[in-house]
């Protein structure tokens, strides 16, 4: 008998010792919350979604904060209790909210088949209806999350469920399909070229078609019990993505590293205007959002442009002006979902941007108190419509809209003597429009070999493993390549604040049937270091729109409007503005093999000569947004 008691006691003591860093928050949470784990909430088609719910003890009715995710939130991992959702739940419950975390269908303990964003979007409606009907609910629901826990919010918000009272979406670009000048289809594309982050992300996220599942008659009690032993999380072998991305064809990259067989195989075949993009969980500009939204964006995220464009679109198109008046935007100088990692000396890559901290807890909870509890607080008096961080000046700034009122556009034209190759060439940016004819203004030509692409150094990226470190880094070494054209302004005599969308029109010719043009915006410091601020790309087959493919004629000059860039940076006196142009930025973007074929299933490439023209007839220009002087 003593042995029977002693062994469980020793086991318990061992578990407490193993999890001493995380169990205290669970115990604190258990003191104030009713905890229900592995609640299987039914959807309209009978599929059940696994959900953990934490609500205040003592009765009463409370608003709910919901976080929905494709990621694992199981409380027991490696034989110990973790704090993955306990911290968030404790914060919510201690403030008088219920909190729930739910897996998308087909993920971990949730039933059904998974697809990106956890389609169908009716799952959101069904979950909201279930939560609002609970005896502890006040009928109001708020959504919060970053990246995958934010990206599903917009399409569901557009469905106008009466219980949805407010959203907080952070780093949400992979949920944005087409909006305004951007048709990235959830960041799968930029300018019609694949962003390779999804290859590595899906390697570790997608379900294999043969994944194990539980029987439909399993009880909640049994799910809680066996969750201590069966985590349902795949353990994917580590991949050296710096090497793996080089494999061709692109469609076989995951297969080549023995990855799972899943949704990647069908998504890699989709073109930018494939009807499938419009039947899943993506939000598009045709779907009105009529719910208060607090939007958080990062300057060095993969999707700053589409995110800000969405904010502007909702403000400008909301039928109810009260909804338009309840859209707020924060833009921080950090990487993807790194808002709370800002410090007194925040660094993005090698670039120090100063003290970029904000009290995000106070911002989000005062937002929810206003919209879900109906409290009369000072959120609107204390918070500007737009709060954005200007790098270089290293200051938070405020505005009533974005771009900033009073912004003027400064055209900066590309010029050279025909030798803009490398930073040692003669490429320049000038505020004077070209006056020479094409016969007297030599264009700039470079060789683009897809098997020797320009390497990505930093950038606005996430999720690529060891292949790319996101952020701002000195580009000087890349700028020594002959296939990189470099155009630089004279040193500035007065500082200027560049804040807003940077649009570019280039005149291009090629010897290939198709190719890409890449572009970077650079801040050149007085010591010669050249720090990237944003980057873009355009696949030329889509130069006339993403609903059709139009091939190039050898040597013919085409007008190409690049997908816009966006930033806020103070170019101090003595700094210079620089533009880099090439045809690859790899593995940030998939290489164009220049054949004019499908690209995703091809292994052989064609080397081409690409030319940037700049003359009176072909005035290649960069449109720089200059904010009113404040420094």
- For every residue of 66-81, DSSP letters joined together read EEEESS---SEETTEE
Contact 71, 201 (CB under 8 A): no
Two tokens, residue 452:
């020797």
Identify the CA nearest to 120 among candidates 104, 136, 132. Answer: 104
Q: How many CB atoms lie within 10 A of CB 433?
A: 11
C-alpha distances out from residue 448 to 119, 233, 478, Å: 40, 42, 14
Q: How far apart are CA 414 and CA 356, in angstroms?
A: 34
Phi, psi of 546 (to 5 degrees): -90, 5
Query: Strand pairing partners for 498?
Result: 569, 626
What digits encode the pLDDT tens for the residues 294-306? 999 999 999 999 9
Lowest mean pLDDT among 6-20, 117-131, 313-327, 467-481: 6-20
What digits encode the pLDDT tens for the residues 254-269? 999 999 999 999 999 9
Phi, psi of 357 (to 5 degrees): -75, 150
Which burial class, exposed, middle or buried, applies to 526 when counting CB atoms under 10 A from its CB (0-12, 13-18, 19+)? exposed
Of the three residues 149, 172, 199, the one that is the final residue of a domain is: 149
Q: How far apart are CA 407 and CA 409, in angstroms?
A: 7
Phi, psi of 4 (to 5 degrees): -65, -35
Q: How far apart are CA 588 and CA 451, in angstroms?
A: 15
For residue 484, tell me if it sits in a domain: yes
Our count of domains for the chain comes to: 2
Pairing of strands 346-348, 565-571: unpaired
For residue 73, tell me if it sits in a domain: yes
Count the residues in the chain.
Answer: 631
The DSSP secondary-structure symbol of 421 reads B
pLDDT at 8: 41
* Higher-confidence position of 439 and 360: 360
pLDDT at 622: 98
For residue 514, tell me if it sits in a domain: yes
pLDDT at 231: 79
Confidence of residue 631 (pLDDT cuts 50, 70, 90): confident
pLDDT at 12 over 60: no
Q: How far apart are CA 380 and CA 378, in angstroms?
A: 6
SS (H, E, C) 434-477: CCCCCCCCCCEEEEECCCCCCECCCECCCCCCCCCCCEECECCC
Identify the CA nearest to 587 among candidates 194, 163, 57. Answer: 194
Two tokens, residue 604:
């052989």
Which burial class, exposed, middle or buried, applies to 191 when counting CB atoms under 10 A from its CB (0-12, 13-18, 19+)? buried
CATH number, domain containing residue 515: 2.60.120.260
For residue 8, tell me if it sits in a domain: yes
Confidence of residue 211 (pLDDT cuts 50, 70, 90): confident
Mean pLDDT for the stretch of residues 271-292: 96
pLDDT at 85: 85
Q: How far apart are CA 257 and CA 98, in angstroms?
A: 42
Contact 439, 318 (CB under 8 A): no
For residue 572, tell me if it sits in a domain: yes
What digits encode the pLDDT tens for the residues 223-259? 989 888 887 888 899 999 999 999 999 999 999 999 9
Query: Strand pairing partners for 536?
Result: 519
pLDDT at 353: 97
For residue 212, tell me if it sits in a domain: no
Two tokens, residue 490:
């004279």
- Omega before 120 cis (within 30°)? yes
For residue 439, tell me if it sits in a domain: yes
CATH number, domain containing residue 46: 3.40.50.1820
Of the three residues 133, 149, 165, the one that is the final residue of a domain is: 149
Cα torsion 374, 380, 384, 388 to 10°: value is -20
User: ∠586-590-594 over CA atoms, to 5°?
Assistant: 105
Q: Taking the model in full, what pTM does it have?
A: 0.94
What digits encode the pLDDT tens for the residues 307-337? 999 999 999 999 999 999 999 999 999 999 9
Mean pLDDT for the stretch of residues 372-385: 95
Contact 403, 385 (CB under 8 A): no
Residues 6+ apart with CB under 8 A from 322: none
Two tokens, residue 191:
């300018």
Name the residue range of residue 125's domain.
1-149
Mean pLDDT for the stretch of residues 170-187: 97
Supply the Cα-derived Rg of the chain in whole angstroms: 26
> Helices 23-32 & 86-94, crossing angle to 10 degrees?
30
Of the three residues 130, 149, 168, the one that is the final residue of a domain is: 149
For residue 359, tell me if it sits in a domain: no
Provide the H-helix boundaries in 318-420.
Answer: 321-324, 360-372, 379-382
């Amino acid at each position: 008998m003593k042995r029977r008691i002693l062994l469980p006691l020793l086991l318990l003591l061992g578990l407490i010792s193993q999890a001493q860093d995380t169990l205290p928050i669970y115990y604190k949470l258990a003191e104030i919350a009713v905890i229900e784990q592995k609640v299987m909430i039914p959807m309209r088609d009978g599929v059940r979604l696994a959900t953990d719910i934490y609500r205040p003890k003592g009765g009463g009715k409370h608003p709910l904060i919901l976080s929905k995710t494709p990621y694992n939130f199981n409380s027991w991992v490696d034989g110990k209790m973790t704090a993955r959702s306990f911290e968030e739940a404790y914060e919510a419950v201690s403030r008088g909210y219920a909190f729930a975390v739910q897996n998308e269908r087909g993920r971990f303990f949730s039933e059904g088949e998974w697809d990106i964003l956890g389609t169908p979007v009716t799952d959101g409606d069904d979950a909201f209806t279930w939560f609002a009907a609970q005896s502890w609910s006040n009928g109001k629901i708020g959504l919060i999350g970053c990246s995958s826990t934010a990206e599903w919010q917009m399409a569901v918000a557009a469905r106008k469920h009466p219980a949805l009272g407010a959203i907080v979406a952070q780093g949400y670009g992979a949920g944005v399909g087409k909006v305004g000048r951007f048709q990235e289809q959830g960041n799968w594309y930029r300018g019609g070229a694949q962003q390779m982050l999804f290859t590595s992300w899906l390697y570790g996220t997608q379900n294999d078609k043969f994944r194990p599942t539980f029987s439909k008659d399993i009880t909640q009690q049994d799910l809680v019990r066996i969750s201590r032993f069966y985590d349902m999380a795949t353990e994917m072998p580590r991949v050296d993505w710096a090497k793996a991305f080089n494999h061709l064809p692109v469609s076989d990259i995951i297969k080549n590293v023995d990855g799972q067989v899943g949704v990647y195989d069908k998504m890699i075949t989709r073109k930018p205007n494939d009807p499938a993009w419009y039947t899943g969980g993506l939000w598009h500009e045709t779907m009105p959002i009529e719910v208060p939204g607090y939007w958080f964006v990062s300057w060095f995220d993969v999707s700053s442009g589409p995110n800000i464009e969405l904010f502007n679109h909702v403000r400008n198109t909301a039928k109810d002006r009260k909804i338009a008046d309840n859209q707020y935007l924060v833009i921080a100088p950090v990487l993807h979902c790194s808002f709370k990692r800002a410090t007194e000396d925040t660094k993005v890559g090698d670039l120090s941007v100063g003290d970029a901290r904000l009290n995000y807890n106070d911002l989000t909870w005062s937002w929810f108190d206003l919209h879900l509890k109906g409290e009369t607080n000072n959120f609107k008096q204390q918070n500007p419509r737009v709060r954005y961080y200007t790098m270089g000046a290293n200051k938070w700034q405020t505005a009533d809209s974005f771009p900033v009122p009073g912004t003027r556009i400064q055209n900066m034209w590309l010029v050279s003597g025909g030798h803009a190759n490398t930073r040692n060439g003669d490429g320049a940016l000038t505020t004077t429009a070209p006056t020479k004819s094409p016969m007297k203004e030599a264009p700039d030509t470079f060789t683009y070999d897809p098997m020797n692409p320009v390497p990505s150094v930093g950038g606005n990226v996430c999720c690529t493993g060891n292949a790319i470190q996101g952020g701002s880094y000195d580009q000087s070494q890349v700028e020594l390549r002959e296939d990189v054209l470099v155009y630089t302004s004279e040193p500035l005599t007065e500082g200027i604040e560049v804040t807003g969308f940077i649009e570019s029109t280039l005149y291009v010719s090629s010897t290939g049937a198709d190719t890409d043009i890449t572009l970077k915006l650079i801040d050149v410091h007085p010591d010669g270091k050249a720090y990237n601020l944003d980057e873009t790309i355009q696949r030329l087959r889509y130069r006339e729109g993403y609903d059709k493919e139009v091939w190039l004629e050898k040597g013919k000059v085409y007008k190409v409007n690049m997908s816009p860039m966006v930033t806020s940076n103070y170019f101090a006196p003595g700094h210079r503005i620089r533009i880099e142009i090439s045809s690859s930025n790899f593995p940030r973007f998939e290489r164009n093999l220049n054949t004019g074929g499908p690209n995703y299933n091809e292994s052989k490439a064609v080397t081409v000569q690409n030319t940037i023209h700049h003359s009176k007839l072909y005035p290649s220009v960069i449109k720089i947004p200059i904010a009113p002087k404040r420094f």
